[in-house]
Amino acid sequence: MRSIIALTLFLLLMLSGGSAKPGGEPTVIITDTGSLQLSDGTMVPPFPKAGNWTKLQGKSSDRHETQHFIYLAPNEPPAIELYVTTDKRGDPPDGVFEVGMVLGFVQGFASKAGLTPEKPVFEEKGIGSGKVKRALVKLSDNRRKLWVQAYIFVRRPSLTFIAIRAQEPVPGEIENYLSGVVLKGARTGR
């Protein structure tokens, strides 16, 4: 009987958008269909390219817990990356941490690649059933150009997608993919 009660409480937490892990970190599983499913019911589909999601080591601080996933296609660089971030204090989502994370990613990547980044400018856009903060950043030197695309779903937990392209991105490519993200139990921010 106790195991049934424990299982019922676990399922109720999962269905209500609660956390199944201590510290408020949402459970994220890679499903048999190749999607990522969050404990609040949010579903992130596979990228429209042969490959699969892989979980990498996330980071934790006193305030934020971040889980990191990349979508890998055979013999290619990552198609897209996803950071699932939870504010451990439970403050209303505002996207400030996520914007800072993208800025740090751009600066770090540019520095390692010997490129100079343009200053990222974020704008809001509706995609699918949610709103995102998005930025397109060109990194360059005298010989090369790369583009970093970033999309932040400001919610609890937040979803930050980052893609790096060697050619100027095709308009709408990432937005079309992100329109397939099914947001559930989301509490959106500003």
Residue in the structure block whose two tokens are 């994220």 = 28
Question: Structural domains in the chain?
Answer: 2-178 (3.40.1000)
Give the rounded percent of residues in the chain with a pLDDT score beyond 90. Answer: 76
| Of the ranges 2-6, 13-17, 42-46, the best mean pLDDT one | 42-46
The residue ranking higher by pLDDT, 118 or 26, is 118
Q: Which of 18-27, 126-135, 144-153 has the highest mean pLDDT?
A: 144-153
Which of 112, 163, 168 has the alpha carbon at shortest distance from 145? 168
Residues 27-72: pLDDT tens digits?
A: 899 999 999 999 999 999 999 999 999 999 988 889 999 999 999 9
Is the pTM higher than 0.75? yes
pLDDT at 21: 41
Cα dist. 89→12, 68, 156 in Å? 22, 20, 11
Percentage of the chain exceeding pLDDT 70: 84
